[in-house]
Amino acid sequence: MDSENKLFKFLNNYLMGPMGKISQFRIVRGVMAAGMASIPFTIVGSMFLIIAVLPQSFPVLQGIWEISFERVESLYMLGNMATMGILALYFCIVFGYEYTKIQAQEEKINLNPMNGALLSMMAYFMCLPELIFDGGVATLVNVVTDDKKIIDGWEMSGGVTRLGTTGIFTAIIMSIIAVKIYALCVKRKWVIKMPETVPTGVSNSFTALIPTVLIALTVIIINGILVALGTDIFKMIAIPFGFVTNLTNTWIGLLVIYFLMHALWIVGIHGATIVTSFLTPIVLSNMVQNQNGANLPFAGEFNNSFVTIGGSGATLGMVIFITFFAKSAQLGALGKAAVVPSLFNINEPILFGMPVVYNPYTAIPFFLAPMSSMSVAYFAIKFGMVNPPIAQVAWPTPLGLSGFIGSGGDWRAFVLAIVCAAVAFVIWFPFIKFYDRKLYQDEQAKVTVTNV
């Protein structure tokens, strides 16, 4: 037990402290808000995509689709283009708004969140066109080939390419720059102050005038320097974030991610929220690459479809077990209360009611179960046994159904999800059996003492 206490102390000092501080960073909170706001757009856009790709999983539907949905595909896929196709724009607007609001509240300065959102969008849009210096003259790129179409600097591929998921990181960086300049201007009073009799909307517009000029000039200078060096902000940002993305596409990288996620939970921090806030742009970008023929396991709703089935710790099988077979009254009652939420990947009743947090009896399976289910799903997708995620589904979607929908209707994904849940339960079984027996013995001992 002393060794377990040392483990919790170590996690508390070296993981909970640093990660708790990171979770409070303004940028992290802004990204979390943007990720949450993007959920309806990713789900709706994915639904239209599933309609288009369903015959690939069920060839029997091909004939029906040819005379129905395929005839209007360009029409209904506008729903996908206007959601997933411009997802970076949604990220930009929401992040700019939330980041401005946070700055205003915590620094006690008069910032208009809407101005912050619009200024962020302007800075981002200024980075979208591709330019080169040709003979000392800044020129918009024009390239039209079978593989690439760039017209007046705008790369097109079923829409403006850089407005899609590949632009999320750039959108965040440019929003940070824009909001910081806006805040600086207001702090230093570099704004045009209107009389109090002027309507608020008009006053806010003039307050943003000087920041707008400074932001535009700043972005022009940044773009000019990078273009002169033969690159641009998109290509520069792709270097460090590309490394992180590649790390998440390895088995070892995902093991580390799921270890960190659950180590935070063990010491009472919502690890899933913190870790996935950083990973949302990556899984969405990977999902779009899968739509274009890639085979990346860590995409879309990979986590809730195959890994943390039943909630963090992959607890669904364990919850079902204690619901029907627990000997201890504590776990039996807890299971009956938690089994329905667990079917929808909600297991806070288990995490805090069992509890899992700071509990040495459940710490090991809480780590190992999701790492094991992740490994099974990762290699099944990597080796082509199951189609990769190509569509976003709501995270509470029940076992099997989320994998089936997310893979575009691959029945093997349904089976894979069940296998992953079973593997996780095998890890949980000896530990929960031991813990249940201990609680039962403690309950019986209390009954005996009471009767005496």
CB 264 within 8 A of CB 16: yes
The amino acid at residue 304 is N
| DSSP-assigned letters across all residues of 231-292 | --HHHHHHHHHHHHHHHHTSHHHHHHHHHHHHHHHHTTS-HHHHHHHHHHHHHHHHHHHHHT
- Nearest one of 277, 246, 262, 287 to 371, comparing CA atoms: 262
* Contact (Cβ atoms closer than 8 angstroms) between residue 79 and residue 44: yes
Query: Residue 109: left (phi > 0), alpha (psi -120 to 50), or beta?
Result: beta
pLDDT at site 135: 84
AA identity, residue 126: M
Give, to the nearest 10 degrees, the angle between helix 209-228 and helix 168-187. Answer: 130
Ordered per-residue pLDDT tens for the chain, 452 residues:
455 566 556 666 665 566 566 667 888 889 888 888 888 898 899 889 999 988 887 888 899 999 999 999 999 999 999 999 999 999 999 999 999 999 999 999 989 999 999 999 999 999 999 999 988 899 999 999 888 899 999 999 878 999 998 899 999 999 999 999 999 999 998 888 777 766 766 666 778 899 999 999 999 999 999 999 999 999 998 887 777 788 889 999 999 999 988 887 876 666 677 777 778 889 999 999 999 899 999 999 999 999 999 999 999 999 999 999 999 999 999 999 889 999 999 888 888 788 887 788 888 899 999 999 999 999 999 999 999 999 999 888 999 999 999 999 999 999 999 999 999 999 999 999 999 999 999 888 887 766 65
Measure the CA–CA gap between 337 and 352, rounded to whole angstroms.
Answer: 13
**Pairing relationship of beta strands 131-134 and 143-144 according to DSSP bridges:** unpaired
CA distance 4 to 379: 32
| pTM reported for the whole predicted model | 0.82
Q: Is 196 helix (H, G, I), strand (E, B) or coil?
A: coil
What are the DSSP E strand ranges found in 283-399? none
pLDDT of 73 reads 93
Rg (CA), the chain: 26
